[in-house]
Amino acid sequence: MNWKKSTPNALLPIYGLVLSFFLIQCQHDGLIVANLKPVCYDTEIAPIFLNKCSSCHDQNKSSGGIGLYDYNSILKSVTPYNSEKSKSYLSITGKGFAQLMPPAGALSENDRILIRVWIDQGAKNTICYIPPDDNIDNGGGIPVTKSGDAVCFKRDILPVLLSSCGTAGCHDQNSRKDGYVITSYASVMTNMVKAGQPNSSRLYTIVANNNMPPSPYAKLTQATKDSIYNWIKNGALDGVCASSCDTATLVTYQNQISSLMTRNCTSCHSGSNAQKGIALDTYAGVKTYLDNGKLLSAVKGTSIQMPPGYSISSCEMRQLELWKANGAKQN
């Protein structure tokens, strides 16, 4: 068959586009994904599922028996190294399912390709670093907000949540006040956070309005609220950042200890209603309990474990020890 003679000239461009499309598809199908740059789960794949899928496929509402709210649940709908046998991939491409997912609108071609390549590369739980912006000196390779401030869940968000929210009688595993558990990334993401949408995330709106923590507990500082906002805005990832803990320079209250107290202690120990009368929201208060030995004893778990439910990092412990050894200077 003479294709050119049997095809009207006016339709040649259209047929050319269609042919190009199929050629591109064939080329894509023949790609050796092992030769491509690895697709990163926590910065490229997790945000797609959390933003586009988890509202219908969370821990409480796994539509179709499929959960898509964290790595382990996503992996159950995936056959590593074989996207064509993976339920989650087939659902977003409309293959083998009556309805294309998400029902509110198909994923972009870029998102579908990322998921396909990620699966065909083994669907690994990779944690990656975002290259630093050329105009931001952040020490290299840690995820940053648009303002240049690094915000990571385990380092910056979780300690605050554990000391301010996930405590006995409130939102720990046993108390579950109002049905909320705030003790881990998975529990926070279940029904409190919409990745990329801080103003639609209960975790942020309730602290932004000063409704939590309840009186007489100290409200979160504006800097802490901003960190929660930025963390959610940037995808609410369970990422890993380089520790901001510094023991190389002179440790002072102003430079290191004040923020350490804010992250771990002042939600319970501040103001006139400080628990057991122990206030740790001022230099004088912290120094008093450092000097009498009660602060180090508590954080080391020698007398009573503080903060309750978890321990501060070994680096933070070392900061307190160095601060005391060097005279507990304020500035």
What is the DSSP code (8-state) at residue 275? G
Q: Let me know: does 143 contact 151? Beta carbons within 8 Å.
A: yes
What whole-number distance in Å separates Cα of residue 230 and Cα of residue 221? 14
What SS3 class is residue 110?
A: helix
What whole-number distance in Å separates Cα of residue 42 and Cα of residue 40? 6
Structure tokens at 114: 């990322």
What whole-number distance in Å separates Cα of residue 76 and Cα of residue 79? 8
pLDDT (tens place) for every residue of the chain, 331 residues total: 333 333 344 443 333 333 333 333 333 455 667 667 788 887 778 778 877 776 677 666 666 677 777 788 888 889 999 988 988 888 888 776 656 777 767 788 888 888 999 999 999 887 664 443 333 333 333 344 333 455 778 777 888 888 778 877 888 888 888 888 888 888 888 778 888 888 889 899 988 887 788 776 777 878 788 889 988 888 888 765 655 566 777 889 988 898 888 878 887 788 777 888 898 989 999 999 999 999 999 888 887 878 876 778 778 888 899 899 889 999 8
